[in-house]
Structures are given as structure tokens and as C-alpha cells.
Amino acid sequence: MDIFDRLKAAATDDWNSYVDHAFVRQMGAGTLPQSAFQTYLVQDYLFLIQFARAWALAAYKSRTPADIRAAQAGLAAILDETDLHVRLCARWGLSQEDIESAPEHQATVAYTRYVLDCGAAGDLLELHVALAPCVIGYAEIGNNLTPNGIAALADHPYREWIGEYAGEVYQGVAAAARKHLDELAARSMTEQRFDELVAVFAKASRLEAEFWQMGLDSAQA
């Protein structure tokens, strides 16, 4: 069991409330209202800007070139990801300026500032634990939504989103992040700290679930 599996096992309910959220299930089934997806995607762009800062903070909190490289890879993955958001929003007639001027939703503020605070007040390991649900969770969701492979998504309304996270490139990014987290824990975690890290991991997973919920709620409003 690597450190990620241990954290997940200790926070199963919170983890499942995130990766198996109704938003995810409806997206997989293709029944998610497009307005929910649009609200989510605009907020997600704003979220990614703050998460880019969190990965930059990870570089600052690093003491080894390997840790700085891991932070660099996370930052690069975020910038690649925002291309998807800009492309999809352009199709709905939303420009980059429109997205960037949208007000941040409370769920976006809560999640991003929580992670940034873990990084500011805690050490590098705590920051990476706070980032783990985001990075590794989306890879798990991408996998869960493609039981028959990416090619089977041909006419799926959310194929680009699902394909991004189920794709080989992103699966590789998440696997590398998971390995890095395990190495970092082997180097700097004491068993006395495990419960404290579980609390951070569980909280970040709940904030992910609340982020999905924000998207769903917008369609009912």
C-alpha cells in the first residue's frame, strides 16, 4: 500500500463523496445539464489559476531539485489543462476575458484558499497531501468513466473532458504525482503525523465534492 492508498482507506467516505458524486455520474451518463457543466468549467478555470499558485508554492517550499521538478510538472499540467477550458468555453461564445472576469464562487474560494493555506502554514508534504485528491482523483474519475476505453466515447457529450483525464498523458501525470507523494512521505512522514495528514486529505476531498455540488446546484437555480 502506498501513502495514497493509505490516505484513501482512512478517508473512504469523503473520497467516495468526491469521485462518485452525482455530477460525475451524470457526466458519465451524458445526462448532466449543459448549464451545470458550463458553470463548473468557468469556476474550474478560476480554480486552476489559484492551483497554479499552489504548485508554484510547492516549488518554493522544496529543498531538492527533484521536488522542484515535481512542482514544475504540476504547474505545466495545469497550464495545459486551461487550454481545454478556453477551447470549450469559446464554443459557447465565452472569451478568455469573460471567464477571467467571472466572480469566484464560494466553493472555489473555499477549496483553493484551503490548499494555499496548507502550503503557507504547513510543510511540503502537507501541501502535496492537500493537492493529491485533485491530481490523483481526476485520473481515477477519468478511468471510472471509460470502462470500454476512450474510443467508445465517440458521440458522448462530455467526451473531451473525459478523454482529457482518461488519456495516457494525464494518467502519466497522475501516476508520477502519486509516486512523488510516496517518496516524499517515505522521506519526511512520521506515523504520529499520519492522522493529521488524513484530516487534510479528507477535507480536500470534501471540498472537491462541494465543487461538483456547486455545478449541480447552478442548474437547479
Rule CB under 6 A: is residue 51 a binding residue for ligand VIB?
Answer: yes
Rule CB under 6 A: is residue 208 a binding residue for ligand VIB?
Answer: yes
CA distance 57 to 116: 8
Give the total of residues touching ligand VIB (CB under 6 A): 13
Torsion of CA 48, 60, 177, 198, to 10 degrees: -90
Out of 27, 77, 88, 185, point to the residue binding ligand VIB (CB under 6 A): 77
Out of 118, 211, 214, 215, point to the residue binding ligand VIB (CB under 6 A): 211
Rule CB under 6 A: is residue 210 a binding residue for ligand VIB?
Answer: no
Nearest distance in Å: CB 31, ligand VIB = 20
Q: Where are the alpha helices (DSSP H) in the chain?
A: 3-10, 12-19, 22-29, 34-60, 65-91, 96-100, 106-121, 124-144, 159-166, 168-188, 194-220
Cα–Cα distances in Å, from 28 out to 23, 80, 152, 215? 9, 23, 12, 15
Rule CB under 6 A: is residue 47 a binding residue for ligand VIB?
Answer: yes
Rule CB under 6 A: is residue 44 a binding residue for ligand VIB?
Answer: yes
C-alpha cell of 220?
Answer: 437547479
Rule CB under 6 A: is residue 74 a binding residue for ligand VIB?
Answer: yes
Q: Tell me which residue of 53, 54, 164, 44 sits closest to 100, measured CA to CA.
A: 44
The reply to whether 208 belongs to the active site is yes
Residues with catalytic function: 134, 208
Residues lying near ligand VIB in the complex (CB under 6 A) are found at: 44, 47-48, 51, 74, 77-78, 81, 134-135, 138, 208, 211
